[in-house]
């Protein structure tokens, strides 16, 4: 993967212009804006999915913290929701 990225770093202005010319010849001027929009949407969707994944990790981490604190206080955690555990921990703390 690294050699692939190194290829793009070593491109000069002439090479980039040549690539753009080939893209225009292959797809035509009408398709290029549509392709750019689709690429932007894909990037946005990827970022949104990445954020959702991070949020899920944070929720899991918070839940584990609450459950660990409940066990430390001697509260049974089996079958209880996170909200129930938070309330019990707050009462005992």
Per-residue pLDDT of 63-93, as tens digits, reads 899 989 999 999 898 888 888 988 988 988 7
User: What pTM was computed for the model?
Assistant: 0.48
Q: What does the pLDDT read at residue 13?
A: 86
User: Residues 4-19: pLDDT tens digits?
Assistant: 667 667 778 888 899 8
- Indicate the pLDDT class of residue 3, thresholds 50, 70 and 90: low
pLDDT on residue 4: 65
From residue 59, how far is each of 19, 32, 40, 79, 81 by CA, in Å? 45, 41, 29, 18, 13
**pLDDT for the residue 37:** 93
């Amino acid at each position: 993967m690294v050699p692939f990225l190194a290829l793009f770093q070593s491109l000069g202005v002439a090479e980039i212009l040549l690539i753009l010319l080939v893209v225009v010849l292959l797809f035509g001027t009408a398709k290029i804006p549509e392709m750019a929009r689709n690429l932007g949407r894909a990037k946005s969707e990827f970022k949104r999915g990445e954020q959702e994944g991070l949020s899920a990790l944070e929720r899991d981490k918070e839940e584990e913290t609450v459950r660990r604190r409940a066990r430390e206080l001697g509260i049974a955690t089996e079958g209880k929701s996170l909200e129930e555990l938070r309330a019990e921990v707050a009462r005992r703390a």
